[in-house]
Amino acid sequence: MSILEAIIIAIIEGLTEYLPVSSTAHMIFAGSIFGIQENNFVILFNYCIQFGAILAVVVLYWRKFFDFKRLKFYIKLACAVVPALILGGIFSDKIDSVLEKPIPVALVLVAGGFLLLFIDRFFKNPTVVKEENISIKQAVIIGFWQCLAMMPGTSRSAASIIGGMQQKLSREAAAEFSFFLAVPTMLAVTVYSLTLKKWKEGNVEMKGYELLASNSDHLGLFLLGNLIAFIVAIFAIKFFVGVIKKYGFKMWGWYRIIVGILLLIYFKFYQEV
């Protein structure tokens, strides 16, 4: 992976992590379209630059994350992330195999787009408009909804926002809780990828941090990618909150459908899959 390729992927991650359009799908497609050679470091890079994006939430909402008197806030996040930790551990290898197949991911992108076209009609008359009013039970249910995003192309943000709206959260409250839930979820993914998951280099298996240390360029690209994802995500979050307050989710539905169809055409007719 070159410096330019790392910058492109990091910008895409920062732009799409908190939008309901699937950052994983966009990184997969970008890697294929730009001819980025996929290897274990590239896969690890794609997973772990999400850490930079989650830091953007911590910075923008630092009063919530560092108000240690609000114990219930931390309990809700801890309970909500448990389903993803359990199911993610069980299905990790199967998820990795799907990541190699862009056609199924594009199909999921389109299907999710049709759902977003009507999501504002499905869940009307919300009763929860602030994070403080979300119960632990509602947080856990939203956590299970988030697990739908284990299928690449679904979008973690979209799944958890839809789950929030199904639990009577306003779209603004659902989006914000989705942001908050991303922090422990993506932190767990990063820690697992760096310290527990085994990556095969040739005939040698190594941990993620060992893979970073195995090449002098890896660590530099890793840090650069996280920095860029962090900066871009700050602007993306502010933009997204403003858009959903004014327009809802329909525009993101059309975006997913159009992009998904274009990518299906590209991978079906212009590139061997």
Predicted confidence (pLDDT) per residue in 34-63, tens digit:
777 777 888 888 888 888 988 999 999 888
Residue 175, phi then psi, degrees to nearest 5: -65, -45
Indicate the residue type of 120. Answer: D
Average pLDDT, the chain: 85
**According to the model, what pLDDT value does residue 256 have?**
92
- H-helix or E-strand containing 71? helix 71-98
Where does residue 238 fall: left (phi above 0), alpha (psi -120 to 50 degrees), or beta otherwise? alpha
What is the pTM (predicted TM-score) of this model?
A: 0.84
Tokens of 147: 């697990």
Residues contacting 96, CB < 8 A, separation 6+: 43
Q: Which residue has the tokens 């197949």?
A: 101
Query: Cβ of 272: how many Cβ atoms within 10 Å?
Result: 5
Which of helix, strand or coil describes residue 250?
Answer: helix
What are residue 207's DSSP bridge partners?
198
pLDDT the model gives residue 145: 92
Whether residue 11 is predicted with pLDDT greater than 70 in this model: the reply is: yes
Question: Mind listing the pLDDT tens digit for each residue in 205-245?
Answer: 888 888 888 888 888 999 999 999 999 999 888 888 777 77
Q: Convert 180-196 to b/e letters by CB count within 10 Å (16 or more is b).
A: bbbbbbbbebbebbbee
Q: What is the DSSP letter of 38?
A: P
Residue 203: predicted pLDDT: 76
> Which token pair is 69?
């008197």
Per-residue pLDDT of 166-200, as tens digits, reads: 999 988 889 889 989 989 988 888 888 888 888 87
